[in-house]
Chains A and B, each alone.
Chain A
């Protein structure tokens, strides 16, 4: 039946979407060392609009071998390369799998989009959508497809709530209400608070950790 086959099924592919500045790269910087600790063999793809800034930032971070970070330039339309025509990203993922085989996980940061963007399930197995408190407490209520459909919604920058007059608890409750039984987590990607739960969710749902 489910006998171990010799062939490695390939790396899980996880997308990280969300508006520009919500903290996607900061989340990556928190996730990478945590996956390293648990022995997950990792590579990263960034989608920048016209530069390779996020890729360069990660390569210089010392958190991951620089060659394990690939940049795909998304051009003016960041959602096209993660949904309608993910060819560039699929090629990048295949290339990483060839070069660093066997890989367990490829994390793919989207170039930053509006709230309507979603990932193609041809490209990723699971995707996160990162919004932040400073973007406004009413974001969940607007029910953007990213907020509603992502496998995991992350509300980042809880530390800013008092400064921008957002009621964090109400924002989280509203997010849970529009998402039914899909997961919502709060992270602070500067301090790392809440990030372990993100690792646990990815571990359970696509790396197939035994139930804890």
Chain B
């Protein structure tokens, strides 16, 4: 297990970029891919794509970021990457449906953003679990899925 309590910089930083690039050519850059919601953690145990066991404990005022470099030496580097956030796009039929859907999503504490007439729901678990919670809306046509 490797322990980390600081972030050395971001992979795109000019100061780090060249050294990382060199290591990359030798296949010596390992990545830890985290779900978007897990990026908010200050302390976690994670495994790199090459199977290295990592224990991360950052100061409370330090945040993980996409590209955070945890380790960079002559032999290898370890970089944190955020997985792409998946969204469920829902389109309410009319204003009444929109009010209902908004209230429902709020009750479920879903993380959302608004994209014009679409309600975008951040998926923090299997999509099926989310669809099930709006099944009644989808069934009677008050809401439909917009893909893409």
Contact = CB atoms under 8 A, between A and B. Distances in A.
Interface of A: 1-2, 5, 7, 9-10, 12-13, 79, 83, 116-118, 120-122, 125-126, 143, 145, 148-149, 178, 180, 204-206, 208, 210-211
Nearest to B62: A9
Given A121-B41, A206-B45, A148 B125 contact: yes
Contact of B2 (A2, A125, A126): A2
B59 A83 contact: no
Contacts of A178: 129
Given A121-B37, A178-B129, A205-B44, A210 B1 contact: yes
Give the top 4 A-B pairs by smallest Cβ distance, nearest first. A121-B40, A125-B43, A208-B55, A9-B57
A208 B60 contact: no
Main secondary structure of the interface of A (DSSP, over half): loop
Interface of B: 1-6, 37-38, 40-45, 53, 55, 57-60, 71, 73, 107-109, 124-126, 129, 132-133
Given A125-B44, A149-B124, A116 B3 contact: no
A12 B43 contact: yes
A117 B109 CA distance: 8
Contacts of B133: 143
Contacts of A7: 5, 59
Contacts of B45: 204-206, 208
Contacts of A5: 5-6
Contacts of B125: 148-149, 180
A211 B53 CA distance: 9
B124 to A, nearest CB: 6
9 contacts: A1-B73, A2-B4, A9-B43, A83-B109, A120-B40, A143-B132, A149-B125, A180-B126, A208-B45
A195 B88 CA distance: 38
Contacts of A9: 5, 43, 57-59
A184 to B, nearest CB: 15
A76 B124 CA distance: 27
Given A2-B71, A116-B107, A208 B37 contact: no
Contacts of B6: 5
A17 to B, nearest CB: 12
B109 A145 contact: yes
A10 B107 CA distance: 34
Contacts of A180: 125-126
A149 B130 CA distance: 12
A10 B5 CA distance: 10
Most A-side CB within 10 Å, residue of B40, B124, B125, B133: B125
Nearest to A13: B43
B44 A206 contact: yes
Contacts of A1: 2, 71, 73
Nearest to B8: A1
A77 to B, nearest CB: 12
B129 A143 contact: yes
Contact of B41 (A117, A125, A208, A211): A125
Contacts of B3: 2, 208
Given A125-B44, A143-B132, A145-B109, 14 more contacts: A2-B4, A9-B5, A9-B58, A10-B57, A83-B109, A116-B107, A117-B109, A120-B40, A121-B37, A126-B44, A206-B44, A206-B45, A208-B3, A208-B55
